[in-house]
């Protein structure tokens, strides 16, 4: 019984932390330069592709169907990544601040996406809002990629996770990642049926 209580507290704490971190994500993205938002789109897609390779394609196609334990594990991993990125950003030169913030924002978008797997479809609208804000700037992809590559050179580490061992993300790969959002967000949600009599929607 104690173990169940402790587990319940851990779930509550994890979900509260995700809610706290992602609460201001939409506003933070809106405040970024359009090219930076396109950069975040690339980074978030690269990170979600890494999650899908490690944990299953359902994270991109139907996250609400992912096993709860798997969704929770990915959220925990992303929280650790966010903490490490925050620490790196705090140590970085001021001139690199925007570059590191782009990585942090990408991880928050991924957290919001993994939360759909961890908490269910109720988190989908907030997740969709973040991806839509990024996807609106997809036409800035080339400008964003130049900016990311400059930051990558200055930081001395790859800005994208490798798609497979020994292979780096090419510019063509990166530009492709700026053209899309996860598959489950590309599907239209079913329309609310209209009542046959009176033409009114059901309450």
Q: Which residue has the tokens 């980074």?
A: 43
Locate the domains of the chain by residue range.
Answer: 24-183
How far is it, in rounded angstroms, from Cα 179 to Cα 72? 28
Which tens digit of pLDDT belongs to each residue from 181-194?
999 998 765 444 44
Give this prediction's pTM. 0.86
Question: Any idea what DSSP says for residue 180?
Answer: -
How far is it, in rounded angstroms, from Cα 105 to Cα 177? 16
Which tens digit of pLDDT belongs to each residue from 150-167?
999 999 999 999 888 889
Contact call for residues 137 and 102 (beta carbons, < 8 A): no
Instruction: Please tell me whether residue 203 adopts helix, strand or coil conformation.
Output: coil
Which tens digit of pLDDT belongs to each residue from 3-62?
433 478 888 999 999 999 999 999 999 999 999 999 999 999 999 999 999 999 999 999
């Amino acid at each position: 019984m104690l173990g169940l209580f402790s587990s319940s507290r851990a779930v509550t704490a994890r979900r509260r932390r995700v809610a706290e971190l992602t609460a201001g994500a939409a506003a933070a993205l809106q405040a970024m330069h359009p090219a930076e938002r396109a950069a975040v789109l690339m980074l978030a897609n690269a990170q979600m592709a890494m999650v899908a390779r490690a944990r299953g394609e359902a994270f991109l196609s139907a996250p609400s169907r992912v096993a709860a334990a798997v969704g929770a594990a990915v959220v925990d991993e992303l929280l650790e990544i966010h903490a490490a990125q925050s620490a790196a950003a705090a140590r970085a030169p001021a001139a690199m601040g925007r570059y590191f913030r782009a990585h942090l924002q990408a991880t928050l978008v991924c957290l919001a996406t993994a939360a759909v797997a961890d908490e269910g479809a109720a988190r989908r609208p907030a997740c969709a809002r973040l991806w839509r804000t990024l996807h609106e700037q997809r036409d800035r992809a080339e400008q964003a990629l130049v900016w990311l590559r400059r930051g990558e050179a200055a930081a001395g580490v790859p800005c994208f996770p490798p798609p497979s061992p020994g292979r780096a993300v090419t510019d063509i790969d990166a530009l492709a990642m700026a053209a899309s959002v996860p598959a489950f967000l590309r599907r239209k949600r079913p329309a609310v049926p209209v009542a046959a009599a009176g033409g009114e929607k059901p309450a």
